[in-house]
Homo-oligomer: A and B are copies of this chain.
Amino acid sequence: MSTELKGAPVAAAINERSQKELRHLAEADIVSTLAIVRVGAREDDLAYESGAVKRCEKVGVAVSLISLPESVTQDELLKNIYELNNAPSVHGVLILMPLPKQLDGEAVRQALSPEKDVDGITDGSLAGVFTGSGRGFAPCTAQACIEILDHYGIDCKGKRAVVIGRSLVVGKPVAMLLMAKHATVTVCHTRSVDMPSITQNAEILIAAAGKARAIGSEYLSENQVVIDVGINFSDGVMCGDVDFDAALPIVSAITPVPGGVGTVTTSVLVNHVVEAAKRQNKM
């Protein structure tokens, strides 16, 4: 029977780290501030925003909400981003994605100042993840996977880690973060042939396929640590990419959905805002 790697204690430990830093910043009269840019009112965006706002308030980070109509033009949106880049009181900016179709998401990504890019969407942040230079910030979800492994004392060094998915939000960056922790990393994706034979061989398995319960028992083996990044809805019930009930009797440890990676992501975001405030004030 597996151990459940719950997100809540991981989030609590990150929040505690953040709060310690916030006390230092407060002594220098700095109020760490996150600006959230939302275009339109997609349900996903509203849910994520509400979670992020609550987490910020709980930890002690100020939030500035910029809500733009779905019909906003590229120029208006970019003008907002430039203003946030230049606002000394704003330390981190989260742009909720994807943007409506009339907007050039790529241009918007690159318009954001890498110093304020707390969710790792700019080339500056992604180059930092790729090179391991420590510049910029890793995408929060990718970082959350690593925080969970660290918190539960799972050493990556020399381990066979397999990542399912090659997105820029999770798959590729988490592969780089695992490599920096000296894991032997394999990235599988939709074009991979006989994926179960590859994933069964993993000691650490990161599922970021984006398909409800797609990873069944045939993908799994004993002694695996499984981090399930998926957030899907099946018949109105939230579930991960891994078939949790099938995995539980097989693997050594697994994150639940809900209550796993998703619980940690906003704590990572808040921690990035605090870190950004420190860097911008050379503390």
Q: Measuring CB to CB, which residues of chain A are less than 8 angstroms from any residue of chain B?
A: 106, 123-124, 126-131, 133, 135, 157-160, 166, 168, 172, 176, 179, 182, 184-189, 191-193, 195, 198
Task: Specify which chain B residues have a CB less than 8 angstroms from the CB of A186 in the assembled complex.
Answer: 184-187
Q: Which of B123, B168, B192 makes the CB contact (< 8 A) with A158?
A: B192
24 contacts between A and B (CB under 8 A): A123-B128, A123-B135, A126-B130, A126-B131, A127-B127, A127-B130, A129-B130, A130-B130, A158-B191, A160-B193, A166-B179, A172-B176, A179-B187, A179-B189, A182-B189, A182-B191, A184-B186, A184-B187, A184-B188, A184-B189, A184-B193, A184-B195, A186-B186, A186-B187
- Name the residue among A106, A129, A133, A157 with the largest chain B CB count within 10 angstroms: A133
Q: Which of B129, B179, B192 makes the CB contact (< 8 A) with A184?
A: B192
Interface of A is mostly: mixed
With both beta carbons as reference points, the residue of chain B lying nearest to A106 in the complex is identified as B133
Q: Which of B106, B123, B184, B185 makes the CB contact (< 8 A) with A127?
A: B123
- Are A130 and B187 within 8 A (Cβ)? no
Complex Cα–Cα for A126 and B172 (A): 13
A94 to chain B, nearest CB (A): 19
With both beta carbons as reference points, the residue of chain B lying nearest to A203 in the complex is identified as B193
A280 to chain B, nearest CB (A): 19
- Are A168 and B123 within 8 A (Cβ)? no
Q: Which of B131, B157, B159 makes the CB contact (< 8 A) with A123?
A: B131
A74 to chain B, nearest CB (A): 18
- Name the residue among A106, A129, A158 with the largest chain B CB count within 10 angstroms: A158
A103 to chain B, nearest CB (A): 17
Task: Specify which chain B residues have a CB less than 8 angstroms from the CB of A135 in the assembled complex.
Answer: 123
Task: Specify which chain B residues have a CB less than 8 angstroms from the CB of A123 in the assembled complex.
Answer: 123-124, 127-128, 131, 133, 135
With both beta carbons as reference points, the residue of chain B lying nearest to A130 in the complex is identified as B130
